[in-house]
């Protein structure tokens, strides 16, 4: 009897150890923190706030869309609380592919396909990482820490495509209408394992509308086909600026003591600060920050700063002054005539982009670098929180019908109209109290 009980106890311990081994393996492969075992359960509200965290230039390279193509089935993967870990792992795979490509001392063989092959590739099993703008390949290479490799003639990168069931990778350049195909880059990829994890989640069905009508829709128009009413939360959008902290914040921008500041208050409540030596900033009542510096920059020994230097200057400045909101990313980089650049940033809430079109600011953050320093900086970032109210989302096809009707009412020739993109986003609306944001088709 004692021996029997001992054997049962050993069996129980063995089963428990096998279970722990499986859990640990899953956590290591996907870098998952398992609630209740390895960490305390997450607070849903805290995780969704714009938590400040450290960023560098590489982590700010993020996609506009991440599309999963699985043998004719398609879905959009969001960087939300449910699937954020998988999203991050796929993004890391994409960065690894580029780094392996750029760091190679020998050329990888590659083929070039016409862009018309894109629809056929999307019928396979792969993930498509669509960037928010066409990265100049040299700029992208330098941000990743490499000079542009001579054996590659890629000029722009609009998206990366990585296969789940093979080691084939693609780089899409829309402007040149080329697909660069790499079949021998050894990534030791975990993509197949990641796909198995994705299939455990309930997903909506999506379609590429250019496959229905290529004359009316570009290859970026990717919409869900709702079989039932879809809802998303209404969110509050409080200013990140506290009135009692304005003076200290301005002093931090100017790197001087708060008592040395000069300030005036305009009738509309906007506060203007100056350090008396060529730097100034305006802070409006609704949280818009505008910083300018008229002082001459200190040129480095280099004749021209590299784009990586400029992006790093911008990143460090923003990290030092209020930081980046959660899930921030570079939305555009534009070279200027004075060997500088203008960089714009956006951020997301639960994977949905924030649309900021107030004050003439197309993106929530915009920074201009010239002469090796920050010349201008604009910022309108919100602290976000769900309000407990769900809003119905129209069927995307209905939204497109409404759009065409409005264009028709303006006497526009619909045969000459081509929709280039469509996506869900959060747009801000004014309110007597704090502004709020609603999900909209954009």
Among the ranges given (202-206, 219-223, 404-408, 424-428), the one the predictor scored with the smallest mean pLDDT: 202-206
| Longest distance between any two alpha carbons in the chain, whole Å | 91
User: Is residue 213's pLDDT more than 50?
Assistant: yes
Burial of residue 380 (CB within 10 Å: 0-12, 13-18, 19+) is buried
Is 174 in contact with 156 (CB distance < 8 Å)?
Answer: yes
- State the Cα–Cα distance between residues 406 and 149, nearest whole angstrom: 48
Is 115 in contact with 109 (CB distance < 8 Å)?
Answer: no
Closest C-alpha among 270, 304, 305 to residue 289: 270
How many other C-beta atoms are found inside a 10 Å radius of the C-beta of residue 63? 21
Q: Which residues contact residue 228 at a Cβ distance below 8 angstroms, ignoring those fewer than 6 apart?
A: none
Question: What is each CA distance from 190 to 30, 69, 81, 201, in whole angstroms?
Answer: 9, 16, 21, 18
Q: How far apart are the first and last CA of the chain?
A: 72
Backbone angles phi, psi at 343, to 5 degrees: -115, 130
Q: How confident is the model at residue 429 (pLDDT cuts 50, 70, 90)?
A: confident
CA 149 to chain centre: 26
- State the Cα–Cα distance between residues 298 and 121, nearest whole angstrom: 50
The pLDDT tens digits for 375-385 are 999 999 999 99
Residue 368: predicted pLDDT: 96
CA angle (133 as vertex; 128, 139 as ends), nearest 5: 100
Residue 312: predicted pLDDT: 92
User: Is residue 159's pLDDT more than 90?
Assistant: yes
Closest C-alpha among 251, 260, 253, 245 to residue 378: 253
> Token digits for 437?
């944001």
- State the Cα–Cα distance between residues 150 and 153, nearest whole angstrom: 7
Q: How confident is the model at residue 24 (pLDDT cuts 50, 70, 90)?
A: very low
Give pTM, 2 decimals.
0.83
Residue 56: predicted pLDDT: 82
Output 356 or 239, whichever has higher pLDDT.
239
| Strand ranges in 240-358 using DSSP code E only, listed in sequence order | 262-265, 271-274, 279-283, 289-293, 328-335, 341-349, 352-355
Closest C-alpha among 226, 235, 228, 227 to residue 390: 235
> Token digits for 257?
């003591």
The pLDDT tens digits for 215-265 are 899 999 999 887 667 889 999 988 898 888 888 999 989 888 888 888 899
Which domains are delineated in the chain? 1-41 (no CATH), 57-231 (no CATH), 239-384 (3.30.310.160)
Residue 34: predicted pLDDT: 34
């Amino acid at each position: 009897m004692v021996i029997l009980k001992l054997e049962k106890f050993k069996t129980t311990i063995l089963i428990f150890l096998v279970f722990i081994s499986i859990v640990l393996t899953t956590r290591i492969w996907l870098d998952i923190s398992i609630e209740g075992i390895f960490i305390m359960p997450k607070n849903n509200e805290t995780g969704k706030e714009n938590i400040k965290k450290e960023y560098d230039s590489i982590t700010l390279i993020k996609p506009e869309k991440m599309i999963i193509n699985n043998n004719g089935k398609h879905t959009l993967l969001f960087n939300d609380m449910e699937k954020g870990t998988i999203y991050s792992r796929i993004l890391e795979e994409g960065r690894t592919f580029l780094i392996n490509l750029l760091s190679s001392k020998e050329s990888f063989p590659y083929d070039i396909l016409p862009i018309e092959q894109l629809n056929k590739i999307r019928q396979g099993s792969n993930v498509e990482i669509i960037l928010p703008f066409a990265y100049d390949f040299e700029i992208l290479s330098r941000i990743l820490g490499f000079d542009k490799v001579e054996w590659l003639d890629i000029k722009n990168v609009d998206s990366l495509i990585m296969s789940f069931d093979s080691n084939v990778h693609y780089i899409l350049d829309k402007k040149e209408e080329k697909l660069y195909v790499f079949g021998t880059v050894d990534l030791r990829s975990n993509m197949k394992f990641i796909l198995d994890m994705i299939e455990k989640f309930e997903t909506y069905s999506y379609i590429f509308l250019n496959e229905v009508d290529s004359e009316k829709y570009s290859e970026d128009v990717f919409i869900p086909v709702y079989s039932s009413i879809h809802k998303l939360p209404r969110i509050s959008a409080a200013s990140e600026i506290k009135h009692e902290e304005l003076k200290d914040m301005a002093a931090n921008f100017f790197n001087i003591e708060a008592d040395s500041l000069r300030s005036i208050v305009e009738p509309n409540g906007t506060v203007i600060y100056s350090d008396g030596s060529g730097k100034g900033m305006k802070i409006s009542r609704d949280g818009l920050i505008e910083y300018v510096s008229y002082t001459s920059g200190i040129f480095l020994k280099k004749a021209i700063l590299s784009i990586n230097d400029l992006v790093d200057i911008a990143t460090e400045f923003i990290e030092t002054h209020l930081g980046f909101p959660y899930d921030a990313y570079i939305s555009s980089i534009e070279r200027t005539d004075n060997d500088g650049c203008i960089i714009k940033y956006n951020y997301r809430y639960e994977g949905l982009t924030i649309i900021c079109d107030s004050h003439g600011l197309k993106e929530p953050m915009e920074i201009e670098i010239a002469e090796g320093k920050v010349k201008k900086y604009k910022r309108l970032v919100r602290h976000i929180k769900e309000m407990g109210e769900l809003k119905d989302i129209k069927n995307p096809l209905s939204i497109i019908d409404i759009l065409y009707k409005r264009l028709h009412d303006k006497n526009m020739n619909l045969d000459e109209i081509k929709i280039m993109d469509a996506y869900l986003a959060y747009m801000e609306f004014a309110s007597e109290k704090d502004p709020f944001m609603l999900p909209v088709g954009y």
